[in-house]
Chain A
Amino acid sequence: MPGVATVYRWELTKLRYQKRTYLGLGAAVLVPILFVVAVHFRHDRHGGDFAFSAYLSRSGLAVPLVLLLFGAVWLFPLITALVAGDIIASEDHNGTLKTIFTRSLERGQIFAGKLCATATYAVAAILLAGTVGVIAGSIQSGFNSLQSLSGTIVSAPKALELVYVSLLIYLIPIAAIVSIGLLLSAVTRNSAAAVVGTLMFSLLMQLLGILPGLTGAQPYLLSTQFNAWQGLLRTPIDWAPIVRALWVCALYAVPALFAALVVFVRRDVAGG
């Protein structure tokens, strides 16, 4: 019997055939490599006098973490939005909603399959960027121990574990981005508008965080949750931002996802 797993498999197949998938995954591969190359040349010219230079030159394992720090609010949300903002809107663009809505699957099952496929893509993109960062960084600076944010030294194998757990924690706010991307994709029915809208939402959160008078709201902004993983790099581990990220991101993700589902299930397919 066809079900959510059927849609999930075919959504992944469709992603394999689409350029935007490779654009996102390509960026996830290229950005860490370009970052390491840029650090290498900058180190040669300026003798290591730039932000995080000591950190980056000590261990290649620092590369994915510094990338997370710089790309948290725009790079990975953009990579995620490329698929999340498109996965429903592209059906509108191709006129294929009427084709798949008249088969043997409920609309809710189709939505769930699309959600799972988008989440899989986002996880793959971020783990890929992290892995490429580890490899490129290790080639450049070696697979060495890492200094934690509290100043203690963490062995290389333990640091590698911390890098991947950090990436997984970073996926918590990314889940909210996936939900918002799907909502905009369902509501706007326009891929470009949904992709740009999702990125704008992420950047707007960052701007709100630096506005005077809104500092009290900062712990509850999505942009703040993008840094929750840093709690792992303290000794002892600071779980508070991670726990807060879980429920704050759920507050963003669950209503967005519910609204997207309602729009998707109840909409009239009048065009295409």
Chain B
Amino acid sequence: MSAGAAPAPGPPPIEVRGLIKRYGDLTAVAGVDLTVETGDVYGYLGPNGAGKTTSLRMMLGLIRPTHGSVRLFGRDPMESVRALQGVAGFVEAPAFYPYLSARRNLELLAAYDGDGARDRIDPALETVELTDRAGDRVGGYSHGMRQRLGIASALLRDPKLLLLDEPATGLDPAGMRDMRLLIRRLADDGMTVLLSSHLLTEVEDICNRVAIVRSGRIVYEGEIAALKRGAGTTYRLETTDDERALAVCRAQAGLTDIRLEHGRICFSADEAAVAELSQALVEAGALIKAMAPQTVTLEDLFFSFTEGAEGEPGVRSPEPATAVPPAR
């Protein structure tokens, strides 16, 4: 992953502008704008039905957008399959011919790819650890093995950009860990990756940037670190006299979002304000039993964006500047 690295010259791997897809009265994607830069490992997050898979299908040229544009390295995938040069991936579960072996499937896809893809079959099988089962018919493969074969089929194209839709869905914990390690390894090798996922800890672990999509719209796009910074730091406080402490907190400058939760005082503040609060509490006679910063996870932020009434950011929404999709 190369967060903060100087962008490579040329158009970005993915540039999506005003993407809309309607099926009759149903709007599956309602105006998505996003940019994935070279070296990004980009998480595309959203609840079921938010339009993630439809967006990915449009990015891969499988679905014609109603409005808007997709550019992969500056090329339109709807115009020609040549736009997919250097691009690989899969949407939903990767699909293969069940009556052919894994190797036969890869041979077919390598033939369809050309450009020396056939020579990459063995290394790809090795990368996803399917060499021993390559002769078996795919019809007998488990879900996890198909997912790994999906990655192998993508690697045949020697991609610079990998688009993966829920790559770890349906895998057991070991399979999820292996998939995470594999994606991280590919990213370390310089591949730009966009992955949609429900597994927020996984995204937090391997992605440097995210877009959070809700009801077909992006409600946040940017770096995970910036998202967390924007959300501020929340503290939990326990004292010998919570009523008095609550009054002190409310009177103290620099504290926001003060509330009593399960017998503990919660508030957001920066470090300087917390130091001053400590002194004020002692002076007021409310002695501190415990005060700890509460780490904001991507999951907390995700729910703050995707739950509650439409258009109403959650309690821990980040600063408005980070919540607006950046126009490029």
Contacts and interface: CB of A to CB of B under 8 A. Distances in A.
Interface of A: 1-2, 6-7, 9-10, 13-14, 17-18, 94-96, 98-107, 266, 268-270, 272
B239 to A, nearest CB: 57
Contact of B99 (A18, A103, A266, A269): A18
Contacts of A272: 92, 95
A106 B84 CA distance: 11
B253 interface: no
Given A98-B91, A102-B62, A2 B153 contact: no
B114 A269 contact: no
A79 B49 CA distance: 42
Nearest to A101: B62
Given A99-B109, A101-B62, A102-B61, A270 B54 contact: yes
Given A105-B81, A270-B54, A6 B112 contact: yes
A73 B88 CA distance: 46
B153 A269 contact: no
10 contacts: A94-B96, A94-B97, A95-B93, A98-B60, A99-B109, A99-B153, A102-B87, A102-B88, A104-B113, A268-B63
Given A98-B90, A98-B91, A104-B85, 15 more contacts: A10-B112, A14-B99, A95-B92, A95-B95, A98-B62, A98-B95, A99-B90, A99-B95, A99-B153, A102-B81, A102-B84, A102-B87, A268-B62, A269-B57, A270-B57
Contact of A270 (B63, B100, B114): B63
Nearest to B95: A95
A82 to B, nearest CB: 16
Nearest to B28: A270
Output the residue of A13, A14, A268 with the most chain B CB within 10 A. Answer: A268
B62 A10 contact: no
A2 B112 contact: yes
A94 B95 contact: yes
Contacts of B114: 1-2, 6, 104
B43 interface: no
B81 to A, nearest CB: 5
